[in-house]
Amino acid sequence: MSVTVHIDNLNVTLGGRRILEDVSLTLNGGELNALIGPNGAGKTTLIHSLLGFIPYQGQIKYEGLGRTPRIGYVPQKTTIEPGAPLTATDFLASGLSRRPVWSGVKSQARDAIVEVLADVGIPTLARNRLDSLSGGEFQRVLLAQALLRKPDLLILDEPNTGMDITGHQLFCALVEKIHREHGTTTLLITHDLGVVADHARRAIGLNSRVLFEGPVPEVLSEEHLIQLFGPHTHGMKATARVRRHNNAGAKP
Amino acid sequence: MNEFFSSLTGWASQPFMLRALLALVLLAPACAALGVHVVSFRMAFFSDAISHSVFTGIALGLLLSLDVRISTLLFGLALGIVLIQLGRHSSLSRDALIAVLLAIAMSLGIVIVSVRKGLVQQFQAALYGDILTLTSLDIALTAIVLVGTVVFEIVAFNRLLLISTSEALARTHGIRAKVWETSLTLWVAVVALVGLRLVGLLMVTSLMVVPAAAARNLARNASGALAWSVVIALVASVIGLAASWMLDSATGATVVLAAAVLFLATLPFGPRVRRS
């Protein structure tokens, strides 16, 4: 059973500034939901509210599990300090167990790590240091740590950071594949409308308030995009339209 | 040849040197283990500030007729807490804040000492350490610091590792980053303040940072970093103590110099890092 998330009248004020105003939306269970909006729209604030990092007014309700959902989170900006002697196994094991990684990683944990790294397409990188990985490989390690939690809700905050366009597309294709295999409710924040058109089922446009919400083919319209981003979005709109057109029929 | 050999090993037959060796063998692993986090969290400057707070700690202790160990510890911990709070709430960079507080902690102590001339001797002991005149209490305190550090590394290692990667990520794992960063800061302060009795405030931070930095050149993973840091600190302690006996030099500085030589020796083994 997948978790459905209902957000009702969410208001967040930080440093005296209203970031989110009466935000109400639904993340449909088992679907890949994309959250789009300009810089400063409150996308990360919305995620931080879901994660319980910041105080908010309003309600966040989870339906379909009968318990608090486990949330897997891929953060927006994570930079590994060059020279830090930290392998993918160290990093993943430290989130799996409280047993200090310097005392050794149990074989059960090691097996789980090997398996999840295979799932995200980097089966041979378990012993590689994180500072030696490319941006795309590192993002996959971050995705692996989120998946190790066996999440009911997977949240990805602009996972394109440090990746080129191709890398971002490949990463999002991987997210979609994992999403299809596990049926995990997924929330993807991205600026790339092409990615939304290619991989998401539903899209939510946010700019302090929810401007639109619904199935991608219905809501990713020129009118909505101009409303969300202003008139300077021709390139993005064109990309999105072409990809949506190409994908028509590929998505139910 | 025999004379050289006996001068090389003669220090080991002196009770005060064995006591110094015991103290270093207890202190060095604690400093080295914490040093791994000090380097990860870029706290070297911070531990420097804490160890320099000893000036005011000693001066206040003597002025208020308190045991200087207690006054030094309390002032150092208070300074650590102030630094953490300011670091989280001030718009100034952490480095700038530390520099300001370091200046206050040092100058206040020096002003007090310049007024009360009798305190100068206490200050010299804090500057250079006095490892050859350690008491049983000093050894016991150092042993407690080592045991405490082992417990800290068992409980905190994974948490700090995740926090150093991403605080937000750590929070999704139920880790309260503020609590653990504060714990690290305060424990670094405790170890620095106990350690400066042995090697002096000028060297105690080096004993944390230099072995941990050398370990980064040799280690291929997190457990390797911890192990190498401890091994390098222990080897440097034994070599430094023996060398200080032979050269009749300041023990703390000689130990740190030995660690620095080991660091230089590890440089060629450092991994090539992708920086793009």
- Digit-coded pLDDT (tens) for B183-209: 998 898 889 888 888 888 778 888 999
Residues in A touching B40 (Cβ below 8 Å): 81, 84
The residue-averaged pLDDT of A154-159 equals 90
pLDDT at A65 > cutoff 90: no
CB contact under 8 A, A81 and B40: yes
* A84 inside 8 A of chain B by CB: yes
CA distance B222 to chain A (A): 5
- The shortest CB-CB distance from A85 to any of B168, B225, B274 is to B225
User: What pLDDT score does A250 carry?
Assistant: 46
Closest chain A residue to the Cα of B225, Cα to Cα: A85
pLDDT at A131 > cutoff 60: yes
Q: Which pLDDT tens digit goes with each residue over B52-102? A: 787 788 788 877 878 777 888 888 888 888 888 887 777 777 778 888 888
pLDDT at A236 > cutoff 70: no
CB contact under 8 A, B158 and A94: yes
Three-state helix/strand/coil letters over chain B? CHHHHHHHHHHHHCHHHHHHHHHHHHHHHHHHHHHHHHHHCCCHHHHHHHHHCHHHHHHHHHHCCCCHHHHHHHHHHHHHHHHHHHHHHCCCCHHHHHHHHHHHHHHHHHHHHHHCHHHHHHHHHHHHCCHHHCCHHHHHHHHHHHHHHHHHHHHHHHHHHHHHHCHHHHHHCCCCHHHHHHHHHHHHHHHHHHHHHHHCHHHHHHHHHHHHHHHHHHCCCHHHHHHHHHHHHHHHHHHHHHHHHHHCCCHHHHHHHHHHHHHHHHHHHCCCCCCC
A115 vs A249, more confident: A115
* A54 inside 8 A of chain B by CB: no
pTM beyond cutoff 0.80: yes
